[in-house]
């Protein structure tokens, strides 16, 4: 049984790592000639760090990242509010990290190389055919066959198009520019700075190595003109001066879209990450949402590939992850409209009501916990004893193992039942109800610590 992952970004690499941990044969192909070196996405929320840690790919990334403690907002040149995002809460114990996407990918590639899997570069998908037995991919490097294909190849996904999956949505911002400049600037190294003046917006993000990421809306600006435009914007809004000797590391022009795939599964082809959903970068949710897709899909696909589960288990992937994407799309679109101030009335509310309110402790905690993605739950009902089935279980989620966990009395005979059904299962002591926790840290089953009770639960879940 072979799974081919198309796309060697964070989502694809994380999916491949998780599958290999569970013993599934995997190939990773990518159209690019080699690893990306530009920073691209730069936000790693606490949930994203947790996923990387479970996969054994976090390494020393936190030490090489910038830990963001606050977002400081200025209106008309004056400081208006401060959102403290690094303060620990009962839910969130890690800071948000600013780090190049290239660094995240490098850590995942190194982890994937441990069991001997490398990325097959210069392999662009040009078409696919599938039947009940598998998938035949046409690529620029020759034919590739697989039992299952996971498309993690971005917003312009060739896999999604070849599978005939629609990608409806709307543009949010027509022209947006960003640039990374290596410069010694008089700005706080632990804060994201945002400056608004009427309809103008400028933001600055500290990155490792003395690099700063500048972003601003700038319709009609060409990529060649980005450094000049952002130099002027930095001086005008933040009062900082970029010298001619400072190094522009990267510049880009892009549009902001909101799109969601009509389905995450077409027979033996599945979609994850930007191939399934794209949204505004405001809020730093892109990489993290893709990593959440990867771990949710991987444990399901591993059980199906090993013959332990029927393929209906994969339908739960869309059922759980598509609503998360819908929520992220809605939240980031709303935040984009708020920050950009699309009308005089919205700018008035933004400047004099919303920005000052975000500094209040209850608002700070709510915003930070939502952004962390640690509040994500797949529970079907808001009622019942916690943790409910589908809830994240913090004491078993923050671990360095991507594996099932059974928490029950050590002599109750349940561990053998769980291992027979699921394979590798860690057994830890717990009095009271037994808990079966999925590799992604969410509760799969709760009940009396009796083998017969536990035996019935996986049989239903695994479609056996």
Query: At 323, is the secondary structure helix, strand, or coil?
Result: helix
What are the start-end ranges of the E strands in 272-378? 277-278
CATH number of 394-461: 3.40.30.120
Domain ranges in the chain are: 2-66+96-168+259-372, 170-257, 394-461
Strands 169-182 and 211-217: antiparallel
Q: Which residues pair with 96 in a beta bridge?
A: 68
Average pLDDT over residues 442-459: 88
What's the CATH class of domain 2-66+96-168+259-372? alpha beta
The CA-based dihedral angle spanning residues 257, 327, 274, 259, taken in that order and rounded to the nearest 10 degrees: -40
pLDDT of residue 332: 81
Which ranges of 114-253 does DSSP label H, i.e. alpha helix?
158-162, 226-233
Q: Each residue of 381-435: pLDDT tens digit?
A: 777 788 999 999 998 887 888 999 999 988 888 999 999 999 999 999 998 899 9
Provide the percentage of residues in the chain whose pLDDT is more than 90.
66
| Burial class of residue 44, CB neighbours in 10 A (0-12, 13-18, 19+) | buried
**What would the pLDDT profile of 300-317 be if each residue is shown by its tens digit?**
999 999 999 999 999 999
Give 427's strand partners: 406
* Length of the chain (residues): 464
Output phi, psi for 128, to 5 deg: -155, 150
Residue 52 predicted with pLDDT over 70: yes
| Residue 265 near residue 148, CB atoms below 8 Å | no
Query: What is the second-level CATH architecture of the domain 170-257?
Result: 2-Layer Sandwich (3.30)
Q: What pLDDT digit, counting tens, does each position of 345-379 carry?
A: 878 888 888 888 888 888 889 888 988 889 999 99
Asked if residues 179 and 213 have their Cβ atoms less than 8 Å apart, the reply is: yes
Return all residues near 200 (Cβ < 8 A) that are at least 6 apart: 216, 217, 233, 237
Separation of alpha carbons 84 and 70, rounded Å:
4
């Amino acid at each position: 049984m072979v799974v081919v992952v198309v796309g060697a970004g964070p989502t694809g690499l994380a999916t491949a790592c998780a599958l290999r941990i569970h013993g599934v044969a995997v190939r990773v192909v990518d159209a690019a000639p080699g690893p990306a070196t530009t920073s691209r996405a730069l936000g790693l929320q606490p949930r994203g760090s947790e996923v990387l840690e479970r996969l054994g790919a976090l390494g020393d990334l936190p030490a090489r990242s910038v830990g963001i403690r606050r977002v400081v907002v200025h209106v008309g040149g004056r400081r208006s509010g401060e959102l403290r995002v690094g303060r620990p809460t009962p839910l969130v114990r890690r800071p948000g990290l600013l780090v190049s996407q290239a660094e995240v990918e490098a850590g995942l590639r190194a982890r994937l190389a441990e069991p001997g899997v490398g990325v097959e570069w210069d392999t662009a998908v040009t078409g696919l055919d599938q039947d009940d037995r598998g998938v035949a991919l046409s690529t620029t490097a020759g034919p590739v066959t697989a039992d299952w294909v996971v498309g993690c190849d971005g917003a312009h996904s060739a896999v999604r198009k070849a599978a005939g999956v629609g990608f409806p949505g709307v543009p949010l911002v027509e022209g947006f520019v960003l640039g990374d400049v290596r410069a010694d600037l008089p700005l706080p190294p632990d804060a994201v700075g945002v400056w608004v003046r009427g309809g103008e917006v400028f933001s600055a993000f500290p990155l490792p190595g003395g690099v700063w990421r500048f972003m601003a809306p700038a319709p009609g600006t060409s990529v060649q003109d980005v450094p000049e435009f952002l130099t002027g914007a930095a001086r005008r809004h933040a009062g900082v001066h970029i010298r001619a000797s400072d190094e522009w590391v990267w510049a880009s022009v892009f549009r902001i879209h909101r799109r969601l795939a009509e389905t995450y599964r077409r027979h033996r082809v599945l979609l994850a990450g930007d191939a399934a959903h794209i949204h505004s970068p405001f809020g730093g949710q892109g990489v993290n949402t893709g990593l959440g897709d990867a771990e949710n899909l991987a444990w399901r696909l591993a059980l199906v590939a090993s013959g332990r589960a029927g393929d209906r288990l994969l339908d739960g992937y869309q059922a759980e992850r598509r609503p998360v994407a819908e929520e992220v799309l809605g939240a980031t679109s709303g935040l984009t409209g708020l920050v950009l101030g699309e009308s005089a009335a919205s700018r008035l509310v933004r400047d004099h009501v919303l920005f000052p309110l975000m500094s209040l402790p209850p608002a700070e905690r709510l915003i930070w916990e939502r952004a962390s993605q640690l509040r994500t739950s797949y529970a079907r009902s808001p009622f019942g004893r916690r943790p409910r089935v589908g809830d994240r279980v913090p004491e078993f989620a923050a671990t360095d193992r991507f594996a099932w966990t059974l928490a029950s009395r050590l002599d109750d005979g349940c561990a053998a039942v769980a291992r027979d059904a699921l394979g590798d299962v860690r057994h830890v002591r717990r009095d009271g109800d037994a808990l079966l926790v999925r590799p992604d840290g969410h509760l799969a089953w709760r009940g009396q610590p009796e083998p017969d009770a536990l035996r019935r639960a996986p049989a239903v879940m695994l479609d056996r």
